[in-house]
Amino acid sequence: MTIPRIGQQTFKAVISENYGHRCALTGDKVRPVLEAAHIRSVQSGGEHRSDNGMLLRSDMHTLFDRGYISFDDRFRLRVSPALRERFGNGDWLYAREGTPINVPVRPVDRPAKEFLEWHNETVFVGW
């Protein structure tokens, strides 16, 4: 099945709707701080596709983009040891490591395993 490419504004609207206007990780629903995060960034060849996006609270989005958190192919949270080593914090995240995140109801809208794998191999600071 081919998933059509959509524009940036449509990407944001689709991702927000797919996640029920709630952060996939925290469940927060304060819309001004929710952002549509690309799993594989556009700069790295990613596209504006529903299966290449997640709705994350802005601070979680930053941690995701910088590789301090990621998600495995079963949609479970991974937390980099570098978060604690470099900054001495992250307890809230470490307590939730390995727990599943919220994903869209429709399987076609869930994060694609290929994009999650790319993020884990290329962005995640796993040492």
Instruction: Judge whether residue 5 has pLDDT over 70.
Output: no
| pLDDT score at 60 | 98
What average pLDDT does the structure give for the chain? 93
Assess contact for 115 and 52: CB atoms under 8 A. yes
Half-sphere exposure of residue 116, counting CA atoms within 13 Å on the CB side?
A: 16
Instruction: Judge whether residue 3 has pLDDT over 90.
Output: no
Distance CA 91, CA 86 (A): 13
Q: Per-residue pLDDT tens for 48-81?
A: 999 999 999 999 999 999 999 999 999 999 999 9
Q: Of 57, 52, 50, which Cα lies nearest the Cα of 25?
A: 57
